[in-house]
Amino acid sequence: VLAYLPAVVAYARTRRKVGAPPELTLPVVGLAPLAAALGLPRGRFRSAAIWTAQMWAYKVSFEVPHDRPARQRERQHIDYPIRADSVIGGGMPPGQRLQRRLRSPPRLSRLDRAASLVYFAWELEPHLAMLWLLRRHPARWPAAAGRLAATFDLTLLGYFAVPSAPPWWASEREDRMGHEVRRVVAEVGRELRGKPRPGIDHYTGSNPWAAMPSDHFGSALMTAMVLADVDRRLGAAAGAYAAALGLALVYTGEHYVTDLIAGLLLAIGVRFVAPAAERPARRVAAFAVEVDAEARVIVLRRTAPVCPPRGRGSDERAPFRARTAQPLRERPTSKWGTAVRLTAWLSAFGAMIAVSGCGRQSTLDPHSPQSHDIRTLWWWMLVAAGVVFLGAVAMLVIGWIRRREPGLPLLGGGERTETRLVVLFGMVIPVVVLVALFFVSNVYVIGKTEPPSPGSTSLSVEVTGHQWWWEVHYPGTAAVTANEIHIPARTRVNVIGNTDDVIHSFWVPQLNRKIDLIPGRNNRVLLDASQPGVYRGQCAEFCGLQHAHMAFEVIADPPDRFQAWLQNMAADAPQPATAAERAGQAAFMQDQCSSCHTIRGTGAQGQIGPDLTHLASRGTIAALTLPNTPQYLSQWIRDPQHFKPGNKMPGLNLSGQDVNSLVAYLRSLR
């Protein structure tokens, strides 16, 4: 773990030799902990590696401003900490006061050595605490490490934003404090090492630009806090160490008291804010774990993801869950190294996106001849666009290569040649490609996907858009339903769409292109499902508050099953059979339900809400907002505005008993 110091030095040296700019260094080292997190298998070793990478990144970033010392010195603030501290110390900075009182120059006193040792111990203390936590309380480790790392990184940000000088610097260079404050730590360090070693002195000494806020103090405090969460006594010990360190920092001339206060505030702030930041972080982590699990599957099984079998409520992630739920007995082979893991991780991520092409509302997973043609058109357009794009980018790359070789001969030059080039790429080639695109898409594919001519199909369905649900009629029958459109598979169906209020748009991506539903117009679209299945659709034209909750399902049944469904749907509602159902029917009629909803075969003839005659046969309520289960149904009846604020159904303050009997009745409407 402690191998990071040599790595810091090595990186700093090569970086300067190569001349890598800080703008490059900071992102690279910033990604190091992330790379450790992604590239290594989960476990303590990875945790330790993440921490090491984090500290390495911290130290390297700390070194970056040394690249341009002159500039750094220019930005450095020397005055204001002295002034602030003089106020605290009553006319003289407390550090200066302490040294005047306690030091006995020119010899180093015992106090000097003790304070310096406390100071040096900080190089180990937070890391030892982290190691201890990792060994004893691995579950607590992530939160603790996150907070401590945040403390380190935020102090660093403070240094970058407002570099300020420590007291010893102000005293040595600027004569602000009468050359009185000695850099005790450096003197003790030299004494311990015997002879001066500039490299080590540089890395163990403190930075002349990094004083406010005190990272020593802030991180020691944070260490104490995270330890106290686990073990009171250990926390108290670490707290005592932090206090001693604070005193030592002031005495040795490393920090002003104001720096300590800033460090304290920072540590408290991190502790206060951390819980709020943890939830989103956990969400990202959960996603990473999912991808990681998939990467294991890809490496061990070498299986490509496939589209899941489809049915109601199928989930595009189902294949992952199904596969990862089985314990993977195979141990990762030796090939399961960092590089393989990273590759697998990337391909898993790509695969997840590819598999999500199988989504139930995806244009890339067609289930009708029409949607299939449009998807084929898309892939061809993508290929053509890709060729054009890569060609143009290649030209720009040539420009990039030429930037330092202006003499590079090119095309023989000449205004004429260049204009010809523009005409060729900007006019001739586009004209050819665009004419082809025009005929393929707007003559050929458009004809194959256009609405059927009236009377050319055996079945028509009338769909009416409402804010925010779909009403479905089957002309020639009494069948009326909502948000669920049953059609026979392998049959051309003419959908006639209109709207009762604002403009909506009827879109089932897996079956055909969309069509707007416009007041005063009857627009048509062809549905022709290739096989039985459930295809999700959604309103695609913004229609107000709950536009997002206006989905529906097209359910393609085998033709005979469709006929049975239609027959049932055209029939009146079944009579209530049990006492609870009868009570529910009575409640439905007495309360205001019947003024908005129709239940055919009863007195309920309301026209505002969906027809409920066969509600229990539907899979969802409120346009796919909730599953149609007794629990959700009763919650919906109690407070319809909770799930879909703004919809037209009011909460009626029904008694619990009324709600239960209503649910019983509605569940009987098969």
Instruction: Show contacts with another protein in window 503-532 (CB under 8 A).
Output: 503, 505, 507, 509, 513-516, 518-521, 523-524
Hey, which bits of 416-502 come out as E strands? Answer: 459-466, 469-473, 480-482, 484-488, 493-499
State yes or no: residue 445 binds another protein (CB under 8 A): yes
Q: Compute the least distance from the CB of residue 580 to another protein, in Å.
A: 32
Query: Segment near another protein (CB under 8 A), from 92-100, 545-553, 577-585, 659-667?
Result: 545-553
Q: What part of residues 103-142 is at the interface with another protein (CB under 8 A)?
A: none
Q: Look up residue 496 and give its amino acid.
A: I
Q: Among residues 491 and 523, whose Cβ is nearest to another protein? A: 523
Nearer to another protein by C-beta: 325 or 577? 325
Of the two residues 360 and 667, which places its CB atom closer to another protein in the complex? 360
Which position among 430, 475, 650, 651 is part of the footprint of another protein (CB under 8 A)? 430
Site for another protein, residues 210 to 249, rule: CB under 8 A? none
Q: DSSP class of residue 139?
A: T
Residue 153 touches another protein, criterion: CB under 8 A: no
618 near another protein (CB under 8 A): no
For residue 468, give the nearest of 442, 502, 419 by alpha carbon.
502
Q: 450 to 479, contacts with another protein by CB under 8 A? A: 450, 467
Shortest distance in whole angstroms from residue 12 CB to another protein: 19
Q: Is 494 in the site for another protein (CB under 8 A)?
A: no
Subset of residues 283 to 312 that bind another protein, contact rule: CB under 8 A = 283-284, 287
Nearest CB to another protein, comparing residues 503 and 616: 503
3-class DSSP assignment, residue 547: helix
Please, what is the minimum distance in Å from the beta carbon of residue 359 to another protein? Answer: 4
Using CB under 8 A as the binding rule, the residues of this chain from 644 to 663 that contact another protein are 645-646
- Choice between 441 and 635, CB closer to another protein: 441
Please, which residue, 133 or 511, has the CB nearer to another protein?
511
Q: Which stretch binds another protein (CB under 8 A): 264-272, 501-509, 587-595, 604-612?
A: 501-509
Q: For residues 202 and 283, which CB has a smaller minimum distance to another protein in the complex?
A: 283
CB closer to another protein out of 625 and 668? 625
With beta carbons less than 8 A apart as the criterion, state whether 208 and 168 touch: no
Torsion of CA 602, 605, 606, 610, to 10 degrees: 70
Q: Smallest gap, in angstroms, from Cβ of residue 85 to another protein?
A: 27
As given in the structure block, the two tokens for residue 291 are: 């991808």
Instruction: Compute the least distance from the CB of residue 285 to another protein, in Å.
Output: 12
Please identify which residue in 381, 570, 571, 586 interacts with another protein, judged by CB under 8 A.
381
* CB-based burial label for 431 (10 Å; 0-12, 13-18, 19+): exposed
* Binder among 139, 325, 411, 577 for another protein (CB under 8 A): 411
Tokens 């090595």 found at: 10
Minimum separation from the CB atom of position 53 to another protein (A): 21
Q: Indicate whether 670 belongs to the interface with another protein (CB under 8 A).
A: no
Would you count residue 371 as binding another protein (CB under 8 A)? yes
Give CA angle at 555 (311, 650), nearest 5°. 105
Total residues binding another protein (CB under 8 A): 98
> If binding is defined by CB under 8 A, does position 546 make contact with another protein?
yes
β-partners of residue 621 are 626
Measured from the CB atom, is 328 or 431 closer to another protein? 431
Among 63, 172, 215, 316, binds another protein (CB under 8 A): 316
Q: Of 431, 432, 478, 608, which one interacts with another protein (CB under 8 A)?
A: 431
464 forms beta bridges with 471, 498
Task: Tell me how far, at minimum, the Cβ of 376 lies from another protein, in Å.
Answer: 10
Q: Who contacts 137 (Cβ-Cβ below 8 Å, separation ≥6)?
A: 230
Among 10, 157, 478, 548, binds another protein (CB under 8 A): 548
Give a three-class secondary structure readout of 194-255: CCCCHHHHHHHCCCCCECCCCHHHHHHHHHHHHHHHHCHHHHHHHHHHHHHHHHHHHHCCCC
Pairing mode of beta strands 484-488, 551-557: parallel
Q: Check if the beta carbon of residue 164 is closer than 8 Å to that of residue 211.
A: yes
Count of all residues that appear for the chain in the document: 670
List the interface residues with another protein, window 268-287 (CB under 8 A). Answer: 280, 283-284, 287
Alpha carbon of 147 to those of 76, 124, 216, 334: distances in Å? Answer: 28, 17, 15, 34
Token look-up 């980018």 returns 393
Single out the residue of 107, 195, 302, 403 in contact with another protein (rule: CB under 8 A): 403
- Closest by Cα among 5, 2, 68, 64 to 29: 64
Sign of the four-CA dihedral 281, 284, 288, 289: positive
Q: Which of 21, 275, 475, 558 binds another protein (CB under 8 A)?
A: 21
Q: Which two tokens stand for residue 393?
A: 């980018």
What is the smallest separation between the CB atom of 168 and another protein, expressed in angstroms?
Answer: 28
Q: x-or-dash pattern for another protein, window 349-368, by CB under 8 A?
A: x--xx-xxxxxxxxxx----
8 Å CB contact between 527 and 493: yes
Complete DSSP assignment for 395-435: HHHHHHHHTT-TT---TT--HHHHHHHHHIIIIIHHHHHHH
Q: What are phi and psi of 93, to 5 degrees?
A: -55, 140
Q: Name which of 493 and 515 has its Cβ closer to another protein.
A: 515
CB distance 368 to 512 below 8 Å:
yes
Phi, psi (deg, nearest 5) at residue 142: -60, -45
Smallest separation, CB 176 to another protein (Å): 24
CB of 111 to another protein, least distance (A): 44
| Span from 38-46, 116-124, 437-445, 487-495 in contact with another protein (CB under 8 A) | 437-445
Site string for another protein, 28-67 (x = CB under 8 A): ----------------------------------------
Q: How far apart are CA 4 and CA 356, in angstroms?
A: 41
Shortest Å, Cβ 460 to another protein: 16
Question: Helices 338-356 and 318-325: crossing angle, nearest 10°?
Answer: 140
Q: Cβ-count burial of 411 within 10 angstroms (0-12 exposed, 13-18 middle, 19+ buried)? A: exposed
